[in-house]
């Protein structure tokens, strides 16, 4: 195959664009896709401080690298989830990336700072590990961004991630989630703006970007994610994409353009019901936000939610700070 | 050729020459879900792979459940 732009030998084919690219033209393509996503959705204004949620995987490291390359002031935040060797390795990739480039990487460790880890939380709550993990991430990325004065949180969610989430939301007609699924979630009381600058790139493209730019990332999949529903949706969409290139992009971008707005009222209804969590002050629909409830159940302690509610300033294990943010999965994606 | 698969990591010895597309078809791997790296170079699906090549088939699908 020849590069579509310069006719040199190609190294990556991108079937949904009916194109292949050489290294240099592919890197140009990825930068342009990210620039276009940021511009189309007003994700980041000039001079704003960005906090990138970094996992040590291909998407978040590519996002950090691309945002820096486009001139944005972006620091990283790594969240130690306590998933054994997988967390040790992924944290090492995140630190090595930051150290090699002289970048600022903040680190929060669930066990050290909050007294629980993801496997323990999943067992204690009898929830899927990915649920406890996602809830913790949403809450803490927002909290750190607020506490440290960042204007926006950027995540490495890519086109495949968002198409799979959309499929899951449509299959269950989760209208509240559909009303919030968008490349930008605006800032609101208690929440920092959240953006997904890789939404125009498939995960094959973000992986290729890392390989071609020499970014080392953890290739191994999280052991707790194996067999989850989200990965199953991705397999189904890739089977469709293989037969009909461009299907994932048409599905997702068509929803953003013509479907998302139709569900906005469902999302608004839930936002209207928010009030402060009695433990941490984060916006929530209940008395205690989901993060505080999860932490309470997952922490090895004789304290329980009712104690927290009655004594909201009491410290538990680790250097706990007051949390201004909420991770209630029914409130924010 | 030596073919390196990931998640879990394992190696296969297969006869070449062949193309990337034919190799993935033989292994029943969806081309949308992987990158193919020959030596230290990314290759497209029409690339020829020689019997002496070392080829990594690297999965690109990742991620837990998110909303």
State the pLDDT at residue A70: 98
Contact A166, A255 (CB under 8 A): yes
Res. A255: pLDDT tops 50: yes
- B62: chain A residues, CB-CB within 8 Å: 57-59, 203, 221-222, 225
State the pLDDT at residue A282: 84
* Euclidean distance between CA atoms A53 and A77, whole angstroms: 5
Average confidence (pLDDT) over A111-124: 93
Residue of A142 and B63 predicted with greater confidence: A142
Q: Is A208 on the interface with B (CB under 8 A)?
A: yes
Q: Which among A130, A212, A221 has CB closest to B42? A: A212
Complex-level ipTM: 0.95
**Inter-chain contact A230–B32, Cβ cutoff 8 Å?**
no
- A168: chain B residues, CB-CB within 8 Å: 65
Confidence of residue A155 (pLDDT cuts 50, 70, 90): very high
Q: Helix (H) and strand (E) counts for chain B?
A: 1, 7
Confidence of residue A247 (pLDDT cuts 50, 70, 90): very high
What secondary structure, in 3-state letters, does A157-187 show? CCHHHHHHHHHHHHHCCCHHHHHHCCCEECC
Determine how many CB atoms are found less than 10 A away from the CB of residue A333.
Answer: 24
Residue of A167 and A319 predicted with greater confidence: A167
- B34: chain A residues, CB-CB within 8 Å: 204
Q: Is A238 on the interface with B (CB under 8 A)?
A: yes
Res. A161: pLDDT tops 80: yes
State the pLDDT at residue B64: 56
| Contact map slice: B 1-40 vs A, CB within 8 A | 6-7, 30-35, 37
* Euclidean distance between CA atoms A39 and A45, whole angstroms: 9
pLDDT tens digits, one per residue of A15-59: 999 999 999 999 999 999 999 999 999 999 999 999 999 999 999
| Contact map slice: A 261-280 vs B, CB within 8 A | none
Residue of A321 and A49 predicted with greater confidence: A49
Average confidence (pLDDT) over A266-281: 81
Res. A329: pLDDT tops 90: no
Structure tokens at A162: 């968002």
Res. A113: pLDDT tops 70: yes
pLDDT tens digits, one per residue of B5-51: 998 899 999 998 999 999 999 999 999 999 999 998 999 999 999 99
Structure tokens at A159: 């086109």
**Smallest Cα distance from A314 to chain B, Å:** 31
Model pTM? Answer: 0.89
State the pLDDT at residue A227: 77
- A239: chain B residues, CB-CB within 8 Å: 30
Percent over 70 (pLDDT), chain A = 89
- A21-24: list long-range contacts, CB under 8 Å, 24+ apart: A23/A212
What sign does the dihedral B42-A241-A162-A71 (CA atoms) show? positive
Determine how many CB atoms are found less than 10 A away from the CB of residue A202.
Answer: 25
Which segment of A49-53, A133-137, A152-156 scores lowest on mean pLDDT?
A133-137
* Euclidean distance between CA atoms A324 and A321, whole angstroms: 9
**Inter-chain contact A204–B43, Cβ cutoff 8 Å?**
no
Of B41, B4, B33, which Cα lies nearest the Cα of A214? B41
Average confidence (pLDDT) over A108-118: 95
Determine how many CB atoms are found less than 10 A away from the CB of residue A243.
Answer: 9
């Amino acid at each position: 195959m020849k590069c579509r732009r310069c006719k040199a030998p190609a190294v990556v084919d991108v079937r949904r664009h009916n194109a292949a690219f050489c290294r240099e033209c592919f890197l140009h393509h990825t930068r342009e896709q990210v620039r276009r996503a940021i511009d189309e959705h007003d994700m980041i204004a000039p001079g704003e401080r960005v906090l990138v949620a970094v996992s040590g995987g291909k998407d978040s490291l590519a996002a950090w690298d691309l945002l820096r390359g486009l001139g944005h002031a972006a620091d990283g935040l790594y969240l130690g989830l306590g998933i054994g060797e997988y967390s040790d390795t992924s944290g090492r990739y995140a630190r090595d990336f930051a150290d090699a480039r002289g970048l600022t990487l903040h680190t929060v460790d669930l066990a050290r700072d909050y007294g629980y880890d993801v496997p323990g939380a999943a067992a204690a709550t009898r929830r899927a590990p990915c649920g406890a993990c996602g809830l913790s991430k949403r809450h803490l990325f927002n909290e750190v961004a607020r506490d440290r004065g960042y204007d926006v949180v950027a995540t490495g969610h890519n086109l495949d991630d968002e198409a799979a989430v959309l499929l899951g939301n449509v299959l269950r007609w989760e209208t509240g989630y559909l009303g919030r699924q968008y490349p930008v979630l605006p800032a609101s009381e208690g929440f920092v703006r959240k953006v997904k600058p890789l939404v125009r790139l498939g995960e094959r493209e973000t992986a290729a970007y890392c390989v071609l730019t020499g970014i080392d990332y953890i290739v191994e999949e999280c052991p707790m994610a194996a067999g989850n529903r989200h990965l199953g949706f991705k397999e189904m969409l890739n089977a469709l994409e293989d037969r009909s290139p461009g299907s994932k992009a048409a599905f997702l971008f068509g929803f953003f353009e013509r479907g998302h707005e139709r569900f906005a009222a469902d999302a608004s209804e839930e936002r209207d019901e928010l009030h402060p969590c009695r433990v941490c002050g984060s916006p929530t629909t209940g008395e205690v936000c989901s993060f505080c409830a999860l932490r309470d159940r997952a922490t090895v302690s004789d304290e329980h939610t009712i104690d927290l509610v009655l004594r909201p300033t009491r410290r538990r294990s680790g250097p706990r700070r007051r949390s201004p943010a909420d991770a209630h999965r029914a409130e924010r994606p | 050729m030596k073919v390196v698969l990931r998640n879990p990591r394992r190696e296969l010895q297969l006869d070449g020459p062949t193309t990337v597309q034919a190799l993935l078809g033989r292994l029943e791997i969806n081309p949308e879900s992987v990158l193919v790296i020959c030596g230290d170079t990314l290759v497209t699906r029409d690339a020829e792979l020689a019997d002496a090549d070392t080829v990594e088939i690297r999965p690109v699908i990742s991620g837990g459940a998110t909303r």
